[in-house]
A = this chain, B = another copy of it.
Amino acid sequence: MCVRRCVITVGDLGEFGVVTRITGRLPQGAAVMLGPGDDAAMISAPDGRVVVSTDLLLEGRHFRRDWSGGYDVGRKAAAQNLADIAAMGAVPTSIVVGLGIPADLSLEWLDALTDGFGDECAVVGASVAGGDITRCDRVVIGVTALGDLGGRAPVTRSGARAGQVVAVAGRLGYSAAGWALLEADAPADSPALLEAVAGHRRPCPPYAMGPQAAELGASAMLDVSDGLLQDLGHVARASGVRVELDPQAFTIGEPVALAAKELGADPLEWVLTGGEDHALAAVFPPEVRLPASWQVVGRVVEGEGVAVFGREIRRRGWDHFR
């Protein structure tokens, strides 16, 4: 019986073997003019401006290897950066990845992680153009995404004006519901509950809605990474306005509603304060006719802060140091 020795690890391959292994699994998209293997990659930037966003994900803080497989971690790490690019109104072209991994990490986990990066990029026609690998006692992932605006003006957080409407695209509350199910060790014994858990492991950002919102004339936009209330607080502050949300206007997804029932929780709290779904929240002039992908959930008024139906809510969400 060999249990330990049959697992091929990163240490068995060595650094250059690992790099070859990873790059061999990653097809390159059209925007990548020079891929992995040199001091730097070269990416097409036809717009003459490049949009760039970076995030650091740490095992134990942003993901747990006992809760999420390598594939889900890779997809999630890529997704949260690609969503940042979409939230500017841009189309992602590529990501580069800095990876810290233990020598005893199984090659199977690393392959799954690599495939997760690649597959999430493929959703938007982007690819993994390069990276860096080093040894670490836990998994550390630094993802940087690049994107192209295709001539559009970037949609920032500071353009919201009183009289405009607030709308969301994509899922809200799924990741929080899935996290709560996992933490409670609750049996996810229905398709809906499984979907909530899957939503925690792997977000589904509405990438195409970012450039769509820019073309529709969105005045402000961001992706919901720390919770809708907290993130709209950034828009309110940057724009010098107040955001008022109508709790009745939110459609609560069936997986979120069922998980809340299962755990005796408030599904609206997950929708309003749950992070990591990477939905898009945008502000539009009132005359814009919004397609069905955007759901109006509130309005912009004079003032400051974020309120839900006239009631001040203490902003909740993540502060990594508190």
User: Quick one: given A38-B88, A39-B53, A53-B96, are A58 and B320 in contact (CB under 8 Å)?
Assistant: no
Select from chain B the residue with minimum beta-carbon distance to A220: B38
Q: Contact: A146 with B50, CB < 8 Å? A: yes
User: Quick one: given A38-B88, A39-B84, A238-B37, are A136 and B61 in contact (CB under 8 Å)?
Assistant: yes
Q: Is A144 an interface residue (CB 8 A)?
A: yes
Q: Contact: B40 with A84, CB < 8 Å? A: yes
Residue among B45, B48, B62, B142 making CB contact with A54, cutoff 8 Å: B142
- Residues of B with C-beta under 8 A to A221: 39
User: Quick one: given A87-B39, A88-B39, A88-B40, are A98 and B54 in contact (CB under 8 Å)?
Assistant: yes
User: A145 to B85, alpha carbons, bound, how many Å?
Assistant: 17
Q: Contact: A140 with B100, CB < 8 Å? A: yes
Residue among B33, B52, B135, B154 making CB contact with A321, cutoff 8 Å: B135
How many copies the complex holds: the figure is 2
Q: Contact: B40 with A48, CB < 8 Å? A: no
Q: Is A55 an interface residue (CB 8 A)?
A: yes
Question: Restricting to A60-108, which residues have a CB under 8 Å from any CB of B?
Answer: 61-62, 83-85, 87-88, 90, 94, 96-100, 103
25 pairs of residues in contact across A and B, judged by CB atoms under 8 Å: A11-B322, A14-B319, A15-B322, A38-B156, A39-B87, A40-B85, A41-B52, A42-B149, A44-B48, A45-B50, A48-B48, A52-B94, A52-B130, A52-B146, A54-B96, A54-B97, A55-B98, A56-B98, A56-B133, A61-B136, A62-B134, A100-B140, A133-B320, A142-B142, A142-B144
A positions within 8 Å CB-CB of B: 10-11, 13-16, 18, 33-34, 37-56, 58, 61-62, 83-85, 87-88, 90, 94, 96-100, 103, 129-136, 140, 142, 144-147, 149, 154, 156-157, 221-223, 238, 318-322
